Structure formats: structure tokens, C-alpha cells
Amino acid sequence: MSVTLERDGWIAGTPTYAATVDAVEPVAADTYTYWATLDDPAARAAFRFEPGQISMVGVFGVGEVPISVSSDPEAPERLAHTIRICGRVTHVIDRLRPGDRITLRGPFGRPWPVEEARGGDLVIVAGGLGLAPLRSALYRALHQPGSFRRVIVVVGARDPSQMLFRDELEAWIRSGPDELSVHLTVDVADDGWPHAEGLVTTAFPRAELDPAASTVFMCGPEIMMRFAMRDLAAMGIPDERLWLTLERNMHCAVKLCGHCQLGPWFVCADGPIFRWDQVKELLEVDEL
């Protein structure tokens, strides 16, 4: 199989867009949301993405990193990517300022099945940086009032400084839509933390989940997701209504390099969203 890297930036039929950063927003410790706009007006008008899809965010002459789009899919003319500064490319991204240019390749991947949750409870469970890939699904649900019985958001973090989008979450707690409930918890609280303390799974009873009506979307560290998914399955939520997104190391995003392979799956192309029964046995295998 041959793949041609064309001069106009297309790889295996996937467009690469030049974009300009127009805002950098701190959203947690060492974590920032980079807002960018595609430079080409025609591309900007035509661009669409679905909740949970990924962009390869690139810095000229440095490289790319896979990042979920964390902005509202109903407003695709301005795109947000939420990035924790932790690696070679992201340390260069950390130096970007409004007016700097980046590349965006994508969007890639299977999105969250938001429509499958209609009529019941949509339960969004996030740990650490995991709220970023879920945020666009939450926005999509909030744009459909009356489509869900409840939208339940359960978010955990190591400590208050790591709580992603905390201002937005607390604003929803104070005055969100009637069908929205938000439950926040941290592993280790400080004196100013007004919410719960404990692992994210300890928030499930407070959220009063209804196993007969719940569809769960989850993202977080794999060890957290394994235990949380087991708890939710033990409550009676069937596997076909348990969904998670994986953040295995992606390099090419077109199923060629193999860095993101998980058993028979390539996370970049077959995911990043998977149903729990597709991957639960694979996630139990050490270092797979």
C-alpha cells in the first residue's frame, strides 16, 4: 500500500489546514485551551467535526500531537484544543501566542454516539484531562433540550488545581439547565474546595444513576476507566451503553504506523470511541 505525501499537505486523503491561534486560555495547572481559526475562509466555512473527534495539531518544523476538539460542534468556525504541557511538541505549543500559526489535520475518528442516548440519561464521566474529549458531547446534548431525561456530569481530579474547566462547571452547578446535574470530586482536597473528596467512583451514588436509563460516556486514565466501568456494569448498566475514549499514542492518525494499536484495533481509525465490550478484555492485559 503506497501513500503519497502531496505538496499541498494532504496525507492519505486527509486535509491539513493552516490555522492561526487567536486566544490561549489557562484551564487547569499546566493545561491550556488554544483557540484557533482556519486561515482559508472557504475551508473555515465548510469545516465540521463531530463530538469526540481528534485533530493532529502541528507546529511547523516540530511535529504533531493528537488532541480532541474541545469546543462546541455547533460553532466549528472557531476551534478549541485543550492541551496539557508534558512533551516535546507540547512544550513548543506552550510558547504559542495569539497570532502564531499552527496546522490542523483531521478531524479523525469515530465520534460519541450522542443520538443513542436520546430519551434517557446521558452520563458523562471524566477523570483528569478526560473532560476535554467529552466537552463537545456535553455541548451537543445541551443544544438539544428535552432530548434527554437528564444529563449527568461526574468529574474527578487529583486536586482542585487539576479540575479542568472548573469555572464553567461551577457556573452550571449554580444555574445550569434543570436537566443538567454536575458532581465534582478530587482525590485530595484543600481548605477552599467546596465539593466532594474521593475517587470519581464515589460520586456515582450521589449522582443517583438509573441503570435502566443510563448511557455512559467516559474518558480518563485507563486504570480509572477500568475500575469505573466495572462499577457501572455491576450497577446493571449493559455493556452496549458503556462507551469510552482511548488516548493511546497516535503518530500518523491514518492506521499506518501502529503506535496506537490495541489488539485488533487502531485507536486513530477504529476509535478513539469504543464500546466497553470491544476493549474491556484488552485493557486487562498488562502493557498491551
**Does residue 15 surpass a pLDDT of 90?**
no
What is the amino acid identity at position 199? L
| pLDDT at residue 256 in the model | 80
If we measure between CA atoms, which residue out of 107, 89, 91, 103 comes closest to residue 48? 107
Which residues pair with residue 20 across a beta bridge? 37, 101
Mean pLDDT of the chain: 91
The count of C-alpha atoms lying within 13 angstroms of the C-alpha of 167, restricted to the half-sphere facing its C-beta, is 4
Handedness of CA 16, 21, 23, 26 (dihedral sign): positive
Locus of grid cell 455493556? 239
Task: Read off the pLDDT of residues 42-82 as tens digits, 9 standing for 90 and up.
Answer: 999 999 999 999 999 999 999 999 999 999 999 999 999 99
CB atoms within 10 A of CB 276: 23
Task: Read off the pLDDT of residues 239-269 as tens digits, 9 standing for 90 and up.
Answer: 999 999 997 777 787 778 888 888 888 888 8
Task: Read off the pLDDT of residues 219-233 as tens digits, 9 standing for 90 and up.
Answer: 999 999 999 999 999
If we measure between CA atoms, which residue out of 13, 146, 26, 39 comes closest to residue 103? 39
Locus of grid cell 501566542? 97
State how far the Cα of 275 lies from the Cα of 111, in Å rounded to an integer: 11
CA–centroid distance for 125 within its chain = 11
CATH class of 16-108: mainly beta
| Exposure string over 126-154, b if 16+ CB within 10 A, otherwise e | bbbbbbbbbbbbbbbbbeeeebbbbbbbb
| Least confident stretch, 111-120, 127-136, 251-260 | 251-260
> Any idea which fold 114-245 has?
Rossmann fold (3.40.50)
What mean pLDDT comes out for the span 26-39?
96
Domain residue ranges in the chain = 16-108, 114-245
